[in-house]
Amino acid sequence: MNEYPQPAPENRSVRSARFFTLLQRWRSVLRRHWWVLPVCALGAMALHLLVLWNSPPAYASRGRMIVNVRIQVQTGANYVEELSNFLGTQVALMQSDTVLNRAAERVHASRPDLVPTPVKVSVGITPKTTIFNLRAVGSDPAYVQAYLDAVMEEFINLKKEMRVRSSDVTLAGITEEVARLEKELKNYEEELLQFQATNSIVFLQEQGNLAGNYLAQLNQQLAMLQSELSLLNLLNLEQNLERQQAAGVITGVRPTPPGQQRSPVDVLRIDSDYLKVKQEIQLLKAEEQQLAEYLRPKHPKMIALREDIQRKEKLLEIVREQSAEQIESRKKSLQLQIENLQREIRDWEARALEASSKMAHYQKIRANIARLQSLYDRLLQTMQAVGVDKDIVPESVAIYERASVAEPDRLSLSLSLTLAGLVGLMLGVGLLLVVERFDDRMNTFVELQDHFEEPVLGQIPRERSGRNGELALLRPEDDRHAFAEAYRNVRSSLLFMPTENGHERPRLLLVTSSIPNDGKSLTVANLAITLALGGARVLLVDGDLRKGVLHRRFGVESAPGFSEVLLQKTPWRDVVRSTAVVNLALIPSGTPSQRSSELFLQPLARQVLQEMAAEYEYVVMDSAPVMAADDVTTLAPLMHGVIFVIRAQHTSARVARAALDLLYQRNVRILGLVFNAVNPKTGEYYYYSRYKDYYRHSTRSRA
């Protein structure tokens, strides 16, 4: 079983949504700031025309240089240039300050009648060739031509100076190394002469050969003696005697040292009496057994035979003792011979090692002399080759075409203006990129999800305002189908919101936003209308005591209202207004007050809200923006939940997050977000245009 975690499948819908969101965002940026691109393009073109108008007439001269053909002459050393960036390096040298300054001095020295003027030199390379195209532009045609010729000449002179400088440095280094090698070679030759004066090479070679051969003989004899001694130690007396009898005579001979005659060292003859007596005893015992079959034990022959056997056994014992003594003597003799051979081998090994060490030292001196002599000869050849190549190697780049007569620089005005316009457009696009980078206003639902983790209760599409500049409230039979369905979606999100962590279904609802003009008042009014059209008894309260507008949208008087209730001037039931929508009542904001935050802090505010919740199924309250006043952060903890409105292409994500953090600090329950005024042509709303036919068909069917 595979225990490795499997990668999550790629969500293609999310990737597609992000792609279309990016396109829509750029489309929105271009819609809002389209004028930046033509302004930048026209500005760049105007600036270019101004520069052309104030600039003196320009003349251009052209010349060409080519990588020279070189003959490969094998003289032991070659001048090699770095080839991977060769062309780019040559272009950089042609445009270097050294070449340009030398060219100006050359023109001044050769043509003092010409007045120096600024000249701009550009170098290009013909594609797939090694030809350099030089172009000089200036105000004086004669000076421009002479200057371009001087640039090409000075470039060649600079390359030649660089080669000569490199040759001089190389020759100096080689000369120093040759002197060092010559001194070291002389020291080794003197050491060789001293060695030969104190040692005979022929004698050392012969001595080493003789010592090696004699050591081989000694080692062979030592191995034979050690083998013989091992056999004597392993075998018993009878086995040794039998082996000696079979071998006959065992002879040990030492090898003759160089310059001496060979002589026998030891010859040991082993008597065979022991085996002979033992054999006779065995024969007598056999004869005794045969006679015992028909003779009595006391028979004279039996007695004489037993006496003979006893005499032979005594003789056998004497012979045994003598043989054992001889074998022990043989062992001692072998041990002495082995020790003598080992000592002699060590002596000859020391002589051979001494001769070998001297010969190794002699060979090392000769090898060092040969190595240094070879290196010395190569350096001498290289030094000669460098000196010769310095004078015979041609330049790597040569002049192909001299500078042409300078002519007016006839660059097309339309082309130059087009290029300037393109530069301006690129600048405009860069500005739009900067604007888009710092603009954190959200355009689509995907962007909203990227910035906020709170649930989204619904998206309200953008609708056109009426003649009076305000968007009309929802009606029971509203033909703005997508607009009405969006609020029904918000209503469903509230009705079927899961109750978790002990929270009951929210009935005291507060609608707010982070900044003004986010559309919270219109949202709270249409949400209350949608809840009322769903059959619930709804009380809409204008809690924005500073700038409440709900009374104007429903066409009722603003006072007395909620501010009078909190000031304890009138009961809240006396300020309830009926509306044209069934099941919907309204409490206007009342007389504007700048002490609304203090009014919400008093215990009466909580009591009034609880009484309202007891008589109505839903109490929906409008409020001031969070960042505009402290009213919401004081009032929100008294409500069951808060609905936060964010307007597309208007609300800053950074400001909205700061407002939500203020509410979270007061332990406010955020029910969700309402994304208001979303462009219907964005990725999440493009399909709403198809719903028009659906609703139109439904209307005809009912008719």
For the cut 60, the answer to whether the pLDDT of residue 73 exceeds it is no
As a whole number of angstroms, the distance between CA 50 and CA 308 comes to: 155
More confident residue, 267 or 216: 216
583 φψ region: left (φ > 0), alpha (ψ -120 to 50), beta (else): left
Indicate the range of 115-119, 298-302, 394-398 predicted with least confidence: 394-398
Q: What percent of the chain has pLDDT over 90?
A: 14
Architecture category of domain 53-172+393-408 in CATH: 2-Layer Sandwich (3.30)
φ and ψ at residue 264, rounded to 5 degrees:
-65, 145
Separation of alpha carbons 454 and 328, rounded Å: 111
Q: What letters, b where the CB count within 10 A reaches 16 and e where it falls short, cover 524-547?
A: bbbbbbbbbbeebebbbbbbbbbe
Q: Provide mean pLDDT across the span 374-396.
A: 68
- Asked if the domains at 53-172+393-408 and 445-702 fall in one CATH topology, the answer is no
Give the per-residue pLDDT at 702.
41
Would you say 255 and 262 are in contact if contact means Cβ atoms under 8 Å apart? yes
Question: Which of 626, 275, 646 has its CA nearest to residue 450?
Answer: 646
Q: Residue 378: is it exposed, middle or buried by C-beta count within 10 angstroms (0-12/13-18/19+)?
A: exposed
Dihedral sign for Cα 368, 374, 377, 378, please: negative
Interatomic CA distance for residues 194 and 40, integer angstroms: 91
Calculate what percentage of the chain has a pLDDT beyond 70.
81
pLDDT for position 530: 93
142/195: higher pLDDT: 142
What pLDDT sits at residue 151?
92
Q: What is the mean pLDDT of the chain?
A: 79
Stretch 1-7: mean pLDDT: 47
104/72: higher pLDDT:
104
Of 238-247, 488-497, 527-536, the range with the lowest mean pLDDT is 238-247
Contacts of 278 (CB under 8 A, 6+ apart): 316
More confident: 285 or 26: 285
Q: Which pLDDT value is given to residue 584?
A: 93
For residue 342, pLDDT beyond 80: yes
The DSSP output letter for 70 is: -
Residues 546-598 have pLDDT tens digits of: 888 888 888 888 888 899 999 888 999 999 999 888 999 999 988 888 888 88
Is the model more confident about 32 or about 155? 155
Which of 584, 575, 609 lies closest to 526 in space, CA to CA? 584
| DSSP letter string, 9-21 | PP-HHHHHHHHHH
The predicted pLDDT at position 353 comes to 84
36: helix, coil or strand?
helix
For 199-230, the pLDDT digits (tens) are 777 777 777 778 778 888 888 888 888 888 88
- Topology of domain 445-702 in CATH is Rossmann fold (3.40.50)
Residue 469, pLDDT above cutoff 80: no
In what side-by-side order are the strands of the sheet with 538-542? 456-461, 670-678, 641-647, 508-513, 618-622, 538-542, 584-587, 577-578
The distance from CA 209 to its chain's CA centroid, rounded to whole angstroms, is: 66
**Helix and strand numbers, DSSP H then E, in the chain:** 20, 15
Q: What is the rounded CA–CA span in Å between residue 253 and residue 218?
A: 11
C-alpha 23/C-alpha 258 separation (Å) is: 106
- The pLDDT of residue 244 is 65
Which residue bears the tokens 């000592």? Answer: 343
Q: And the tokens for 476? A: 């029971």
HEC-encoded secondary structure of 438-499: HCCECCCHHHHHHHCCCCEEEEEECCCCCCCCCCCCCCCCCCCHHHHHHHHHHHHHHHCCCC
Following DSSP, what letter does each residue of 609-629 receive, concatenated? HHHHHHH-SEEEEE---TTT-
Phi first, then psi: what are they for 79, rounded to 5°?
Answer: -90, 115
Q: Which residue ranges make up each domain of the chain? A: 12-52+413-438, 53-172+393-408, 445-702
Is there a contact between 623 and 632 (Cβ–Cβ < 8 Å)?
A: yes
**According to the model, what pLDDT value does residue 268 have?**
37
Q: For the stretch 398-427, what's the b/e string if a residue is b when 16 or more beta carbons lie within 10 angstroms of its beta carbon?
A: ebeeebbebeeeeeeeeeebeebbebbbeb
Peptide bond between residue 560 and the one before it cis (omega within 30 degrees of 0): yes
